[in-house]
Amino acid sequence: MTRLPLEGIRVADFCWLIAGPATTRILADYGADVIKIESQARLDDIRTTGVQPPGPGSVNTNGVFNDVNTNKRSVTINVNTEAGLDLVKRLIAQSDIVTNNFTGDRMDRWGLGYEELRRIKPDIIMLTMPVMGTTGPYVRYGSYGNGVIGYAGMRMNMGFPGRPPVGISPLYSDFSVPYFAVSALMAALYQRERTGEGQFIDLAQMESSVAMLGTDIVEYGVTGSAPGPNGNRARDFAPHGAYPCAGDDRWIAIAVRTDE
């Protein structure tokens, strides 16, 4: 049987909702032993959010929850008790990676910041994925994906010129941030293999989402003006649009990306 690339790697996973669990699902799909840690007093909100299947209610039947938490083990621990905190530390001592997507200082307030984790296991890799990072005046800002893409500036670019922003239906950050996070974790694992040293990865979801703006960032950096909405046109296509033709309400759509 083919050995998966992350077999033998254990992840103590404090992530919840979508962006964090989608990150650790990728690790689990590649063979990592991911142990999802929740509190019985406050389970992962995504368990009970949105459309539920018919029949008796259950915290285990939500489709989105099961999609982003496949291939994981799960445990509930009350980290606010001395016994629970001790149990978590014992689990971390047997883990390679610790992940969370709480606000920037939540793990520190539990006594589970990176420096404490290094004392427990010197080569530990810690990934924290707050909305605004772990430093600065917005360290306690929390948000769902809708808020993250708003902070990043995506919403102002959606819609047609002269009209209000229309927002975005898919939550881009929830499904793009995980790939930034996994890439950083792979680099950290490689570095640990070479040097024996762990890593602290501070991955702000807002910053990763800004990276998705592409040429909009370049335009703002060069001109000082925010591009704003431009309808259905791609900025790297020219010509690109729906153009009127002769006759009554007749149009042609043209999308040209290269000179060829």
Return the C-alpha torsion angle 62, 66, 72, 78, nearest 10: -20
CA terminus-to-terminus distance, the chain: 47
In the chain the domains, ranked by start, together with CATH numbers, are: 10-213 (3.40.50.10540), 235-260 (no CATH)
Helix, strand, coil shares of the chain, percent, nearest 5, are 35, 15, 50
Per-residue tokens: 87: 């149990």
- Three-class SS state of 42: strand
Contact 117/98 with Cβ under 8 angstroms? yes
User: Residues 112, 187: contact at Cβ < 8 Å?
Assistant: no
Under a CB-based contact definition with an 8 Å cutoff, are residues 33 and 11 in contact? yes
pLDDT digit string (tens) for 154-204? 888 888 888 887 877 778 899 999 999 999 999 999 999 999 999 999 999
Active site (catalytic) residues: 174
What are the tens digits of pLDDT across the range 56-106? 878 999 999 999 999 999 999 999 999 999 999 999 999 999 999 999 999
